[in-house]
Amino acid sequence: MITVSALGSFALIVGLLTLTPGLDTALILRTAAVGHHRRVWGVVLGIQTGTLLWGVLSSLGITAVLTASHLAYAMLRWAGAAYLVWMGGRILIPALRRRQAGTEPGPLPDAADTPGKPDAGDSFRGGWRRGTVTNLLNPKMGAFYVAVLPQFIPTGASHLASGTMLAGVHILLATLWSGVLIAFARALRTSLRRPSARRILDRISGTVIAGFGVHLALGD
């Protein structure tokens, strides 16, 4: 059984990780800022679905095999990098084209979505899919759990049950922080309705997301 002290130590580690601005922060802020209320919570729950899966896989030792295999890790890293660069480009390129053409964005559509598809617009399912895929294609999440999780699982305890419990702590803290980010983005939404502000938002968020992809590709 995991002690309260161990849970507190783990919560401190993942809490600091959660508060550190990163890809998840950029994705949540941008989705909330453009006014997609259902989609942003889909993104949040998708990210946490990925976190739960990483926790379970790490508990079962599968991610240890992944990180030990240079080929498997490299394939996942490149797939994640390509996905992030593609997603960032789908946001950034339309914003740059609007700037060059002198046109303005409409009533806050998501530039990364394709009109007419079930996942387009303010879709919970589309947000969940994006959050899940983004998290699962980040091999550094798997490496983090492989390095940290075993230190908090007591000898003789069920790895699956203990790992799932620890992942649950991470999910709870991350979800609470996501709620804060969503509230912050919604408070600024009136200002972000201005075309110039929307253009800047898309350019920043697109660059940040694509930049994470480039960083992942060039990382060790």
Q: For residue 47, give the 3-state DSSP assignment.
A: helix
Listed in sequence order, the DSSP H helices in the chain are 4-19, 23-33, 37-59, 62-68, 70-101, 124-136, 139-148, 159-187, 189-192, 195-218
| pTM of the entire predicted model | 0.80
Q: What tens-digit pLDDT sequence spans the chain (220 residues)? A: 788 888 999 999 999 989 988 889 989 988 888 878 899 999 999 999 999 999 998 888 877 776 677 787 788 888 888 988 988 888 888 877 765 555 544 444 444 444 444 445 678 999 999 999 999 988 888 888 888 888 888 888 888 898 899 999 999 999 999 999 999 988 887 776 677 777 787 888 888 888 888 988 887 5
d(CA 216, CA 93): 21
Side chain identity, residue 40: V
Give SS3 for 76.
helix
Handedness of CA 191, 194, 197, 198 (dihedral sign): positive
